[in-house]
């Protein structure tokens, strides 16, 4: 693939340049160190020979280089030629190190890993520095063109660095050297429709990408054109940009867009800033110079920096002073995610105090018992006619019973007389039974009343069953007990994580002691050993076996050296022990703050969701308890009435002697 012979590489003055280690590789070329020992620069060598235009573009960039540009950009400092005075095949550029791509700064998940100490102030500063970088590029007449999340880097101090500068658009009085690449997410609406990037790029185009990046930085990695789209069709980001569907803007609703869940809106920034976003992301930005310039952004971000305050509850939360409540606490509490790691403790709550709150919530206790059988009711009196009809019915029932017995006796008599032989006259045995049937079916005056009472009873029983179910479900203490159980489990989880963190701290301290002691022993050279058996020759022998300090003295190593017997080994071991006894553990150097912070940052994301669930759980426990008490007070009279009604209906029906398991 590489067509350029590296051995034949010259700078523009005709000096031979030799390359060192390859440090990077891209689509267009590879990046090398320059041997010997030029730590501050790197060389980019293209895979393929460059055409005349590309060579000329690089030449112009080298000529245009100045201190402003090379301070933060991997700007071409000098050309590299294939052969003495040969074609340009690469260039020398400032080495940019200790940086991360900007997407690791604005994306919360990566930021917590790569920039654990970064708060919103850091993000505002990064945005301001980004505006400064664009300002300088634009000031010297260049256009970045390919603004994207990968070629802008950020240092640990929020400084911005630009790489891949050879793709910038370079312009002279009569020639434009194009930037032929781009990434749609950062490409303005007016360029979205073209299939390639062969057009002239303007600073107004760059300013769209700048506004997108500033938005990503200030709004937790949310892209301004990624919202909840109300339509049914797909809304890819490039279409949303082309149609000016700024999801956070004033006219978002008109564009059928809404804020994504778990995001913050434009209200978290001062109005000077939100109006710049409106300008940048709507049709008004289209005309030349319509979008805020890098300078405009720098000014408002600089002003914002002076109006930041720390949240009183979480020191890592910084926000605009114009806000009454901390937007990050709000978002973290609502979403359950951790936006910023905090530096001092793993937990934001005091679990013991929280548990006191749990214990203070009085348990509702078992449900008050309401049962129909606890009500003793007398049957409602019957009207005289019904009462008489009932007595008559009882007499009829007795008669019918008698007739049935007669019938049965007759049947048995016929049966025993001659089994197998039946005559038609034998059917006469069944006549009393038939009469009994007629008597029983005779509709007395009581039937209507009985039917009525039975219906009442059934209605009452139906109603009672519903009330009983509701009573148990809504006034019972099962939900409270379950919630309390869940909280206990959560507390256990919380304490387990806390314990794990404490153990890790102890291990850290322990290893730091071992580490210190090892360091100490590594400084006790055997030259200083005055043990009588250890002659200079023997010391030399030890050294030739790699035993130079007390730390190296281990019995099995010594024994394997010719001429070292166990007596001599013991002597050496004793010397080592003497040195060990001189070792003093330096408390203050015990564990560094950054070590502890590293641990905190590991444990914070683990404990934070549990913490949140505990807080929500306590609130829920309290509301469950309140609800139970409220329901008990509310439902008790009506449930009792239902039970009493059923008991009464049962008593009423019992006069008709139809007892059974009714409730």
How far is Cα 10 from Cα 85, in angstroms, rounded to an integer? 8
Q: Which residues pair with 101 in a beta bridge?
A: 153
How far is Cα 119 from Cα 102, in angstroms, rounded to an integer? 15
Is 618 near other proteins (CB under 8 A)?
A: no
Is 240 near other proteins (CB under 8 A)?
A: yes
Is 490 near other proteins (CB under 8 A)?
A: yes
Residue with tokens 């360029």: 191
Please report how close the Cβ of residue 489 comes to other proteins at its closest, in angstroms. Answer: 6
Of 409, 482, 554, 657, the residue at the interface with other proteins (CB under 8 A) is 482
The nearer residue to other proteins, 107 or 444, going by C-beta atoms, is 107
Compose the 137-156 pattern: x for residues touching other proteins by CB under 8 A, - for all others.
------------xx------
Q: In 157-202, where does DSSP find H-type helix? A: 189-192
Of 76, 188, 221, 292, the residue at the interface with other proteins (CB under 8 A) is 221
Please report how close the Cβ of residue 268 comes to other proteins at its closest, in angstroms. Answer: 15
Read off the tokens for 300: 């408002």
Is 26 near other proteins (CB under 8 A)?
A: no
Which value, in Å, is the radius of gyration of the alpha carbons in the chain? 45
Please report how close the Cβ of residue 222 comes to other proteins at its closest, in angstroms. Answer: 5
Is 225 near other proteins (CB under 8 A)?
A: yes
CB atoms within 10 A of CB 525: 12
Determine the interface stretch with other proteins among 46-54, 124-132, 238-246, 630-638 (rule: CB under 8 A): 238-246
Nearest to 171 by CA among 205, 131, 202: 202
Determine the interface stretch with other proteins among 71-79, 182-190, 467-475, 585-593 (rule: CB under 8 A): 182-190
Please report how close the Cβ of residue 120 comes to other proteins at its closest, in angstroms. Answer: 16
**Angle formed at CA 144 by CA 142 and CA 149, multiple of 5 degrees:** 160
Determine the interface stretch with other proteins among 157-165, 283-291, 475-483, 511-519 (rule: CB under 8 A): 475-483
Please report how close the Cβ of residue 337 comes to other proteins at its closest, in angstroms. Answer: 5
Is 626 near other proteins (CB under 8 A)?
A: no
Binding residues among 245-304 for other proteins as defined by CB under 8 A: 247, 258-263
Is 194 near other proteins (CB under 8 A)?
A: no
3-state secondary structure of 2: coil
The dihedral built from the CA positions of residue 116, 122, 123 and 126, taken in this order, carries a sign that is negative
How far is Cα 54 from Cα 70, in angstroms, rounded to an integer? 20
Is 213 near other proteins (CB under 8 A)?
A: no
Of 129, 151, 167, 185, the residue at the interface with other proteins (CB under 8 A) is 185
Please report how close the Cβ of residue 180 comes to other proteins at its closest, in angstroms. Answer: 14
Is 227 near other proteins (CB under 8 A)?
A: yes
- Measured N-to-C along each axis, helices 294-305 and 271-281 cross at an angle, to the nearest 10 degrees, of 160
Is 18 near other proteins (CB under 8 A)?
A: no
Read off the tokens for 120: 């919103």
Binding residues among 594-613 for other proteins as defined by CB under 8 A: 609-610, 613
Compose the 415-444 pattern: x for residues touching other proteins by CB under 8 A, - for all others.
------------------------------
Q: Which residues are catalytic?
A: 146
Question: 135, exposed or middle or buried, with CB in 10 Å at 0-12, 13-18, 19+?
Answer: middle
Please report how close the Cβ of residue 504 comes to other proteins at its closest, in angstroms. Answer: 21
Is 528 near other proteins (CB under 8 A)?
A: no
Please report how close the Cβ of residue 361 comes to other proteins at its closest, in angstroms. Answer: 15
Determine the interface stretch with other proteins among 168-176, 217-225, 416-424, 465-473 (rule: CB under 8 A): 217-225
Is 2 near other proteins (CB under 8 A)?
A: no
The nearer residue to other proteins, 405 or 478, going by C-beta atoms, is 478
CB atoms within 10 A of CB 346: 22
Q: What residue ranges in 300-415 does DSSP mark as E strands?
A: 308-310, 318-320
Of 60, 77, 184, 358, the residue at the interface with other proteins (CB under 8 A) is 184
How far is Cα 223 from Cα 225, in angstroms, rounded to an integer? 5
Is 616 near other proteins (CB under 8 A)?
A: yes
Q: In 256-350, where does DSSP find H-type helix? A: 271-281, 294-305, 327-335
Binding residues among 315-374 for other proteins as defined by CB under 8 A: 331, 335-337
Read off the tokens for 280: 């940048």
How far is Cα 551 from Cα 533, in angstroms, rounded to an integer? 19
The secondary element (H helix, E strand) that includes residue 606 is helix 593-654
**Angle formed at CA 512 by CA 509 and CA 518, multiple of 5 degrees:** 150
CB distance 292 to 275 below 8 Å: no
Residues at the site binding other proteins, with contacts judged by CB under 8 A: 101, 103-104, 107-110, 149-150, 183-185, 220-223, 225-229, 234-240, 247, 258-263, 331, 335-337, 479, 482-483, 485-486, 489-490, 609-610, 613, 616-617, 620
């Amino acid at each position: 693939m590489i067509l350029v012979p590296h051995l034949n590489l010259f700078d523009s003055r005709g000096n031979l340049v030799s390359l060192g280690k390859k440090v990077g590789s891209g689509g267009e070329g590879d990046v090398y160190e320059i041997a010997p020992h030029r730590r501050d620069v790197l060389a980019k060598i293209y895979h393929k020979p460059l055409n005349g235009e590309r060579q000329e573009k690089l030449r112009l960039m080298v000529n245009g280089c100045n201190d402003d540009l090379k301070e933060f950009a991997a700007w071409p400092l000098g050309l590299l030629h294939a052969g003495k005075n040969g074609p340009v095949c690469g260039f020398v550029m400032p080495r940019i190190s200790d940086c991360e791509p900007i997407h690791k700064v604005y994306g919360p998940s990566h930021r917590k890993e790569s920039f654990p100490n970064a708060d919103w102030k850091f993000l505002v500063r990064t945005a301001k520095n980004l505006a400064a970088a664009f300002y300088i590029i634009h000031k010297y007449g260049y256009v970045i063109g390919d603004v994207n999340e990968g070629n802008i880097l950020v240092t640990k101090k929020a400084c911005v660095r630009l790489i891949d500068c050879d793709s910038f658009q370079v312009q002279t009085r009569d020639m434009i050297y194009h930037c032929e690449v781009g990434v749609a997410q950062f490409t303005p609406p007016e360029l979205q429709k073209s299939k390639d990037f062969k057009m002239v790029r303007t600073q107004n185009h760059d300013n769209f990408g700048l506004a997108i990046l500033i938005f990503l930085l200030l709004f937790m990695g949310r892209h301004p054109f990624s919202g909840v789209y109300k339509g049914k069709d797909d809304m890819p980001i490039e279409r949303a940009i082309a149609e000016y569907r700024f999801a956070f803007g004033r006219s978002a609703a008109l564009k059928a867009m809404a804020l994504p869940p778990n995001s913050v809106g434009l209200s978290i920034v001062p109005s000077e800033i939100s109006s710049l976003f409106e300008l940048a992301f709507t049709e008004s930005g289209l005309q030349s110079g319509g979008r805020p310039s890098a300078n405009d952004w720098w000014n408002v971000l600089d002003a914002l920096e002076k109006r930041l305050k720390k949240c009183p509850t979480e020191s890592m939360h910084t926000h605009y002073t114009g806000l009454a409540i901390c937007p990050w606490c709000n978002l973290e509490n609502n979403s359950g995610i951790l936006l910023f790691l905090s530096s001092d403790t793993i937990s934001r709550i005091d679990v013991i105090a929280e548990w006191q709150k749990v214990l203070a919530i009085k348990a509702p206790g078992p449900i008050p018992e309401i049962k129909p059988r606890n009500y003793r009711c007398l049957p409602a009196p019957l009207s005289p006619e019904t009462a008489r009809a009932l007595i008559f019915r009882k007499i009829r029932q007795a008669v019918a019973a008698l007739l049935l017995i007669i019938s049965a006796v007759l049947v048995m008599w016929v049966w025993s007389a001659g089994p197998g032989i039946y005559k038609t006259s034998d059917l006469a045995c069944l006549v009393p039974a038939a009469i009994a049937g007629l008597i029983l079916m005779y509709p007395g005056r009581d039937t209507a009343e009985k039917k009525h009472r039975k219906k009442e009873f059934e209605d009452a029983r139906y109603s009672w069953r519903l009330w009983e179910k509701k009573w148990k479900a809504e006034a019972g203490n099962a939900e409270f007990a379950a919630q309390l159980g869940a909280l206990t489990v959560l507390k256990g989880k919380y304490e387990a994580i806390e314990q794990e963190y404490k153990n890790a701290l102890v291990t850290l301290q322990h290893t730091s002691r071992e580490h210190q002691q090892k360091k100490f022993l590594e400084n006790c050279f055997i030259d200083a050993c005055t043990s009588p058996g250890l002659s200079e020759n023997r010391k030399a022998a030890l050294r030739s076996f790699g035993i130079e300090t007390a730390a190296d003295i281990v019995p099995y190593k010594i024994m394997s050296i010719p001429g070292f017997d166990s007596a001599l080994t013991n002597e050496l071991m004793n010397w080592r022990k003497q040195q060990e006894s001189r070792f003093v553990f330096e408390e203050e150097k015990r564990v560094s703050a950054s070590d502890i912070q590293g641990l905190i940052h590991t444990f914070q994301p683990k404990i934070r969701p549990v913490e949140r669930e505990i807080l929500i759980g306590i609130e829920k426990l309290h509301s469950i308890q309140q609800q139970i008490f409220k329901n008990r007070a509310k439902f008790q009279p009506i449930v009792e009435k239902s039970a009493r009604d059923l008991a009464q209906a049962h008593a009423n029906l019992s006069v008709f002697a139809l007892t059974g398991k009714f409730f």
